[in-house]
Amino acid sequence: MAIAIRKPAEIAKLKAAGEIVGQTLEYLQNLVKPGMTLKEIDTLGEAFVREKGAIPSFKGLYGFTGSVCTSLNEVCIHGVPDDTVLKDGDVLGLDIGTKLDGYFGDAAITMAVGTISSRDQDLIDCSKGALYYAIDSIRAGMRFKELTKILEDYITEAGFVPLRDYCGHGIGTKAHDEPNIPNYLEGKPNQGPKIRNGMVFCLEPMVCQKSGQPMVLDDKWSVVSDDRLRSAHYEHQVAIVDGKAVILTEA
């Protein structure tokens, strides 16, 4: 496994791409409301990214048709924007990628549409909390599997389970690069590569309620848990600078 070590100038370019992702997510979160369609959200997101001078990197990636992954209710990740109309009480995941000057940005949020149940809010809080707790825990020299265990422990202690078979990932001049960073531990935490200064990667806790076993829907993209219950997904892109993680995808 060859994990790239980025120079400060490269990290600056990744931050520029990432900030546009954060700005787009903030823009959409302030606009989304009941009555909008997923396609409308996708169109608004793409236009905002392009206005900022970046390219929406998900459009056409591996054949994906949208610019924003719009994951509604039980869809955890990779939701395809279509004519579905949002209703009060829905839970919506937004995942956005950008490409700017040859470097990629990538982040995601899950948001309430109108007023949601306390259970749904707990689900969202778990995904977001796991992400920020893990980021705060990162230190150069720890192993990626230790980070995976931190994510898994946070999710399970909150009473939820991580989605399996999907993971966080390295990022740079490719949208997805080494290493893969699951939200569940396989093997022992003292195995595998170490986190080092200059590495850049995305963490993305994908949180399900009862089962973490994934199913892909008929659109060949949307991923749900086989319990078919609602789920949540948060993501940030970070760089390791002076031994700690710095978030690159904040607005």
Q: How many CB atoms lie within 10 A of CB 82?
A: 15
Examine residue 189 and say whether the peptide bond preceding it is cis (omega within 30 degrees of 0): no
- All residues at 6 or more sequence positions from 185 whose CB lies less than 8 Å from its CB, including other chains: 145, 148, 149, 152
Phi-psi bin for 85: left (phi > 0), alpha (psi -120 to 50), beta? Answer: beta
**Predicted TM-score of the model (pTM):** 0.97
Reading the block at residue 17, the tokens are 């791409």
Residue 63 CA: distances (Å) to CA of 78, 161, 179, 219: 12, 29, 23, 12
Q: Which residues of 102-141 are buried (b: 16+ CB within 10 A; e: fewer)?
A: ebbbbbbbbbbbeebeeebebbbebbbbbbeebbeebebe
Three-state DSSP class for 6? Answer: coil
The residue behind tokens 């995808």 is 249
What's the rounded Cα separation, in Å, for the pair 148 and 184? Answer: 6
What's the rounded Cα separation, in Å, for the pair 115 and 4? Answer: 43
pLDDT, position 1? 61
- Burial label for 83, CB within 10 Å (0-12, 13-18, 19+), is exposed
Helix residue ranges, H only, the chain: 8-31, 38-51, 118-137, 144-157
CATH of 8-247, one of 3.40.309.10, 3.40.630.30, 3.90.230.10, 2.60.40.350: 3.90.230.10
pLDDT tens track, the chain, 251 positions: 699 999 999 999 999 999 999 999 999 999 999 999 999 999 999 999 999 999 999 999 999 999 999 999 999 999 999 999 999 999 999 999 999 999 999 999 999 999 999 999 999 999 999 999 999 999 999 999 999 999 999 999 999 999 999 999 999 999 999 999 999 999 999 999 999 999 999 999 999 999 999 999 999 999 999 999 999 999 999 999 999 999 999 99
Domain-by-domain residue ranges, the chain?
8-247
pLDDT, position 187? 92
